[in-house]
Amino acid sequence: MDEKKKISLSTTPDDILESVNSISVVTPWFGQPLFPILAKVSIPHNYERVRAVLLEMAQQLKGSEPEDAARYLKTDDFYVLLERALRDSANEPDENKRRCYAYFLANDLKLPHQSYIEKISMMHDLELLPPDGIRLLKALLREPEGGVFIPIFQTLQQRLPDMASERITELAGQLEERGIANFKNQTALLRGRRPGDLQVLISRYGQKLLSYILPGG
């Protein structure tokens, strides 16, 4: 199927059933309750993107049944997050960012008792994060390569050789503005750390966000 073919999720029960059947094979406890939930969600286009997110979500949940997850996925709280993630996924051209939505939903089911307000906030930040911003966060997470100390932005440039230095600086400012990372106090934060150890620049909130948008959070 052409990825850009427009299909309304709420008015194509055959497509929904096909997706649910595929998901049920991977994760039965998750797939079966999905049909009545998906039947209420209207996705105006790019249904194949949505289907890929649902299947990736099921893969992340494969082999596990988090306590209370089956109950939680029937709640209004989860429905709001699911609908929002699927709508955004349908509009998101970047495949890697679409996977982040799948990871978010899967990790949400693994942690159903976390604050709903905080999860809505993290979903909003994921919506605003450009794909390059996610790449920058992953670069901060990388294990130190060792060697001598070099400036932070030089280290990031080495880790992201295809990204312009101006773009890295711009993205760092966006992460700082949203409270996801802290570059202003880098000297104090990095004191006593190994060369290239930049994980400490990610704020506590940023670490929480990453635990939702990366696999196996």
Number of helices and strands (H, E) in the chain? Answer: 13, 0
d(CA 197, CA 193): 6
C-alpha pair distances (Å), 184 with each of 55, 161, 203, 207: 40, 23, 12, 18
Q: Are 92 and 126 in contact (CB under 8 A)?
A: no
**CA 19/CA 157 separation, integer angstroms:** 41
In tens digits, what is the pLDDT along the chain, a chain of 217 residues? 343 333 344 435 466 567 777 777 777 777 777 777 777 777 667 778 888 898 898 889 888 777 788 889 889 999 999 999 999 999 999 999 999 999 999 999 988 889 999 999 999 999 999 999 999 999 999 887 766 677 888 889 999 999 999 999 999 999 999 999 988 766 655 665 666 678 889 999 999 999 999 997 6
Q: For tokens 């996924």, name the residue.
A: 89
**Token pair for residue 53?**
């997110």
Return the domain boundaries, the chain. Answer: 9-113, 131-212
Distance separating the N- and C-terminal Cα atoms of the chain: 32
